[in-house]
């Protein structure tokens, strides 16, 4: 009988403890009015920008749309490389691979369309030399964005959510970008220009370049899926 009374007493104390802790929590603010206000601001400011330039209004609307999609989907390049090692989840990794496959087809269609019509191929200015400096810079940037908790898009998205760490990261992101842009000529002359420029259609042809790239993407997707299944089975 005493054991029953002791059990009931402990259960009652746990319930009262939970009730007191919940009563100490601050009630959440209703954010619906803020959301409505921001929505009307976006629309009205977009209308104002359209009176100045249609391009500005287009960039304003698409920028807000992309930000909304990033925030709701939690799409982040940092998470695609960090989560497989930290949590074993590769859902974001596979989402990035799907996005890369879609953009591969889309950009190839645009470039090939210009090529067969005898027009300048768009985006050729972005074909830059590849060397050890590319690998080293990618590793350094990867370490930095994992420590900072986000890449450029993820940092901007979390700044909008009010994360203070990302606000600090954004400040130094801007400072580093300004310093890098100011000294880019030296970096390009000493390191970047030493490597060869690679344009896959020049090596494999247009169809071959698409096939090779899609095969690589599919391989990474399959490996990511197997990795997650392996980690899930190990956890169970």
Residues 114 and 222 in one domain: yes
Residue 160's pLDDT is what? 80
Residues 134 and 192 in one domain: yes
Residues 85 and 109 in one domain: yes
Distance (Å, whole) CA 147 – CA 175: 17
Residues 42 and 155 in one domain: no
133 φ, ψ to 5°? -60, -35
The H or E element containing residue 116 is helix 91-116
Residue 209's pLDDT is what? 93
Distance (Å, whole) CA 39 – CA 54: 20
Residues 138 and 190 in one domain: yes
Residues 204 and 182 in one domain: no
pTM, 2 dp: 0.70
Instruction: Tell me the mean pLDDT per 10 residues along the chain, length 236.
Output: 48 52 64 84 90 88 86 79 85 90 93 90 85 85 80 81 84 88 87 84 92 95 92 81
Residues 58 and 168 in one domain: no
Residue 18's pLDDT is what? 54
Is the CB of residue 163 less than 8 Å from the CB of residue 228? Answer: no
Closest-CA residue to 96 (of 80, 73, 72, 78): 80
Residue 67's pLDDT is what? 83
Residue 128's pLDDT is what? 83
Residues 180 and 162 in one domain: yes
Residues 63 and 149 in one domain: no
Distance (Å, whole) CA 229 – CA 122: 40
Distance (Å, whole) CA 130 – CA 47: 44
> Which residues span the domain enclosing 107?
74-122+200-235
Residues 139 and 187 in one domain: yes
């Amino acid at each position: 009988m005493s054991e029953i009374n002791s059990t009931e007493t402990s259960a009652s104390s746990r319930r009262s403890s939970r009730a007191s802790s919940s009563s100490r929590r601050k009630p959440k603010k209703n954010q619906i009015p803020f959301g409505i206000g921001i929505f009307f601001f976006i629309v009205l400011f977009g209308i104002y920008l359209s009176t100045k330039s249609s391009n500005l209004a287009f960039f304003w609307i698409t920028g807000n749309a992309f930000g909304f999609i990033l925030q709701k989907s939690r799409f982040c390049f940092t998470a695609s490389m960090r989560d497989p090692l930290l949590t074993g989840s590769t859902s974001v990794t596979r989402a990035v691979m799907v996005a890369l496959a879609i953009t591969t087809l889309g950009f190839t269609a645009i470039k090939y369309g210009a090529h067969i019509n005898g027009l300048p191929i768009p985006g050729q200015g972005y074909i830059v030399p590849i060397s050890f400096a590319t690998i080293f810079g990618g590793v350094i940037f990867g370490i930095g964005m994992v420590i900072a908790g986000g890449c450029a898009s993820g940092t901007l998205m979390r700044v909008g959510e009010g994360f203070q760490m990302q606000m600090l990261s954004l400040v130094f992101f801007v400072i580093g970008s300004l310093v890098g842009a100011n000294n880019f000529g030296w970096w390009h002359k000493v390191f970047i220009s030493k490597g060869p420029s690679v344009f896959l259609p020049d090596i494999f042809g247009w169809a071959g370049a698409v096939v090779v790239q899609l095969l690589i993407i599919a391989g990474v997707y399959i490996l990511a899926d197997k990795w997650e299944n392996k980690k899930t089975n190990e956890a169970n």
